[in-house]
Structure 1
Amino acid sequence: MNLNYIIGLIGAIVVCLIGMVTSIKLGAADPISVNFENLLNFLDPASILITIGCTIFVVVASFPSKMLKAMPKHFKIILNNKMFNPVEYIDQLVELAQIARKNGLLSLEEKANEQTDPFFKQAIMLIVDAYDQDKIRSILENDIECMSARHEDAAAMYDKASSVAPAFGMIGTLVGLINMLKGMDLSTGSSNIGSDMGTALITTLYGCILAHMVFGPIATLLRNRDEEEVLCKMIIVEGVMSIQAGENPKFLRERLLTYMAQKQRELGEEGGQESRGDKKAKKGKKE
């Protein structure tokens, strides 16, 4: 579970609500006052209809239905914080390298069928089928590029919503101002201008909240997940290429760890030491 996203979103909403109901007057006898009735000042059905409704329909008009149907999947992706772990892929590739050195590349076919990741399975089967290295790399890198392009299209959908929400907030403000000016009666004075202006500005508030608290973070998280998946797939590509070339498994681990940050490398090295320790323990038991 991606707790950062949940905590950040809830925290932003809570802080915003506190700011709406709290009044701070420095130097007064009671400097901080809370009035929950102020929340009613920020509720306006017409503003909600213009800002949220128009934003949704513009997004619907801008993107194909297959992308819109994938929105629930997008939320599942951003909430899942453990989808792509480079260390696990490195451990599996090192294990495959050890098997290939002992029994040959054909022995990897059984391991390929055990893979739940279609890309990983495809990469293993390509070297099992003894394709040319340049052709294998071309196929796998093209797969990564096309996948990343699809992910960018998904993030662009939320970028679109993030850009149009403030625009429709301004449109709602203009609509409110026009209605206010049309309804002004100079003979009775201008006592209602303040409240009418406040209502007109609420749509701008809604637009900014949608853009920066809802759609913006989703687009950023989708791009972050894309970067994580691309990294893991690049590791797979380099790993299977090295396995096909017959590289030493220990050297392979060190090479693949260079794709990761220093802290992640330390975890990867610890994982490799633990796996070697387990194998020695099993060997000792057999003896």
Structure 2
Amino acid sequence: MNIVYLIGMLLAVFFVGFGIVVDLGADSWLNLDALKLFLDPASALIVLGGTFAVVVACYPKQVRSIVSHFRIMLHTKTFDPEKYIDELTELAQIARKNGLLALEERANQQEDPFFKQAIMLIVDATDPDRVRSILTNDIEQTSERHGEVIAMYERGSNAAPAFGMVGTLIGLIKMLFNLEAADMSSIGPNMGVALITTFYGSLLAHVLFNPIAANLAARDEEEVVCREIILEGIMAIQSGENPKFLRERLLTFMNQKQRDRGAGNGKKAKRGQGQNDQAQ
């Protein structure tokens, strides 16, 4: 679970709400009645309805999968490079010992369809250039589809403040047309109501759409890295590369902290395998 995202959203809502109700100059430093000033159904309808309409009009296919987007965003361990490196190292050892055909059983056990496809391509003795071409194209097309989803939320982030300004203009126009017959003391409150839509638009853009787009972009980067690891690992296995050198090469896709942890896990696995061999 992406706890950091949830904490960030809760803190954003808390600080905005706290900033609204805090009043240090009054007898009671919390003025909960101030929240009523920021509740305006018409303004919410303009911003939420207008933004949603633009997003649906621009991205009719992607908007159908909003629920799955949240599920992907809230899971942080969907793509773990260390897991793929360990698996590829193990596959390299099996291939060197028993040949590429021995990997077919392991391919059927894979939950990741890309990983399964990559293994089956070398099991079927596909030409190495064709294997690389197929897998590279798969990575590029997947990333492009992810980019369209990210662009949808970025579009929402741009549309929300725009509709906030539209709502503000509507409020100002109505106020100016009624200015001659209006009481001068009502200008301030009417101006405040007119500005609420701008507040809603900014809040929607920076608290909802921008964080979602950023988190989905991070998930896309993680998936691309893992698929590139699979691609390089599969090509190395097909060429018969030493599992030890393969692991060292795949670790270069990770940052230094992850490399140290991955190298440590590799040494533990190697020691455990050696102890099992001695026991046998």
Tell me the amino acid that sits aligned with residue 168 of structure 1: F
Q: C-alpha separation between the residues in 1 aligned to 2:275 and 2:24?
A: 66
Q: C-alpha separation between the residues in 1 aligned to 2:103 and 2:229?
A: 18
Q: TM-score, normalised by structure 2?
A: 0.97
Aligned counterpart, 1:92: 87
Return the offset for 1:99: 0.3
Return the offset for 1:150: 0.1
Which residue of 224, 232, 235 maps to 1:241?
235
Return the offset for 1:206: 0.1
- Secondary structure (helix, strand or coil) at the match of 1:246 reads coil
Aligned counterpart, 2:179: 184
Return the offset for 1:280: 2.1
Aligned counterpart, 2:202: 208
Aligned counterpart, 1:4: 4
Unaligned runs of 5+ in 2: none
Which residue of 254, 264, 279 maps to 2:248?
254
Aligned counterpart, 2:18: 18
Which residue of 41, 47, 51 maps to 2:47?
51
Q: C-alpha separation between the residues in 1 aligned to 2:86 and 2:216?
A: 26
Stretches (4+) displaced over 4 A:
none
Q: C-alpha separation between the residues in 1 aligned to 2:251 and 2:108?
A: 25
Q: TM-score, normalised by structure 1?
A: 0.95
Paired residues in the alignment total: 280
Return the offset for 1:250: 0.3
Tell me the amino acid that sits aligned with residue 11 of structure 1: L
Tell me the amino acid that sits aligned with residue 131 of structure 1: T
- Secondary structure (helix, strand or coil) at the match of 1:38 reads helix
1:118-159, CA deviations, whole angstroms, 9 ceiling, x for partnerless residues? 000100111111111111101000000000000000011101
Return the offset for 1:42: 0.2
The question of 1:268 aligning with 2:280 is answered no
1:34-80, CA deviations, whole angstroms, 9 ceiling, x for partnerless residues? 1000000000010001011111111111112x311111000001100
- Secondary structure (helix, strand or coil) at the match of 1:247 reads coil
Tell me the amino acid that sits aligned with residue 134 of structure 1: D
Return the offset for 1:23: 2.1
Return the offset for 1:218: 0.3
Q: C-alpha separation between the residues in 2 aligned to 1:243 and 1:60?
A: 45
Return the offset for 1:263: 0.2
Return the offset for 1:189: 4.3
Which residue of 19, 29, 32 maps to 1:33?
29
Unaligned runs of 5+ in 1: none
1:140-179 equivalences under 5 Å are 140-179=135-174
Aligned counterpart, 1:81: 76
Tell me the amino acid that sits aligned with residue 215 of structure 1: F
Tell me the amino acid that sits aligned with residue 36 of structure 2: L
The question of 1:280 aligning with 2:266 is answered no
Q: C-alpha separation between the residues in 2 aligned to 1:105 and 1:189?
A: 86
Aligned counterpart, 2:192: 198
Tell me the amino acid that sits aligned with residue 19 of structure 2: G
- Secondary structure (helix, strand or coil) at the match of 2:29 reads strand
Percent of matched pairs sharing the same residue: 56
